[in-house]
Structure 1
Amino acid sequence: MMKDLKPIKVEEFIEKSPLESQEVMLKLKNLIETTEPGAEGGISWNVPIYKYHGILAGFSLAKKHVSFGIDSLTEDVRRVLEEKGYKTGKKTIQIKFGQKVPTAEIVLLIKEQAKLNEV
């Protein structure tokens, strides 16, 4: 893990992460940045967090997966993701290294969260 390293940019966080995790994180970074171009990425709580009128989304590194976190994750979306083989938490989606990033669902969640944050 990255305990001694204190990245200050999302790119640094990804570069300093294990190689097998980088593809998933780069994909998430690009999804967040293209879905909500107004979002500002940075490091908060030692993980990449994107802000857009408040916290939009973020991701963190675990031993065998990348955890994508977003407040707008609903029961319905969680069910769909679990049927596709993803593990989910109350506000997180676990994406194993080498597992396909659930692009459509994540784009939907980012758009929904951005809308909620604009209110």
Structure 2
Amino acid sequence: MSEPETVDGYIADADEAARPTLRELRELVTSTVPEAEEGISYNVPFYRFHGTHVGITAFTNHATFGIGADALGSDDRDRLEAMGYDTGKETIQIGYEQDVPTAELTELLAAKAEAARNAE
């Protein structure tokens, strides 16, 4: 993948298997936090809002949704892992054969946005 200049470019350059998941994650972020500023940072899509951010990244077999340790607690990780998703301290991996856990990610993202708004 070349260095993208836009999120559209990033998605277009991603492997065909990754594109639907990336589009769905993009839509999830922009619909949940419409004030988020979309851009590229560290060569991946980033969404900045109220002094915080989230990002999405395409890998060979999965997309990663980086939401941050401030929003992804151990109970959240346990719940997502029980649903079949791999998680890290700050991330959720979504295999291209898996459905995006829309309800869970929307809940986490909305809570992160609300906490950031309140911290301003």
| Alignment TM-score > 0.5, same fold | yes
Which amino acid in the other structure matches residue 96 of structure 2? Answer: F
Partner residue, 1:24: 21
Runs of 4+ in 1 over 3 A off after TM superposition: none
Contact 1:14 1:26 in 2 (8 A): yes
Whole-angstrom distance in 2 between the partners of 1:55 and 1:20: 29
Percent identity between the two aligned chains = 40
Give ranges in structure 2 of 5+ residues lacking alignment. Answer: none
Partner residue, 1:100: 99
1:116 Cα shift?
Answer: 2.2
Partner residue, 1:86: 85
CA RMSD of aligned residues (A): 0.9
Q: Deviations over 1:62-115 (max 9, x none)?
A: 121001000211111111100000000001000011210000111011111112
Partner residue, 2:46: 49
Give ranges in structure 1 of 5+ residues lacking alignment. Answer: none
Give the secondary-structure state (helix, strand or coil) at the position aligned to 2:94.
strand
Which amino acid in the other structure matches residue 87 of structure 2? Answer: T
Whole-angstrom distance in 2 between the partners of 1:47 and 1:10: 8
Give the secondary-structure state (helix, strand or coil) at the position aligned to 1:20.
coil
Whole-angstrom distance in 2 between the partners of 1:95 and 1:89: 12
Whole-angstrom distance in 1 between the partners of 2:53 and 2:113: 6
Matched, 1:65 2:62: yes
Whole-angstrom distance in 2 between the partners of 1:10 and 1:74: 28
Partner residue, 2:5: 8
1:11 Cα shift?
Answer: 1.2
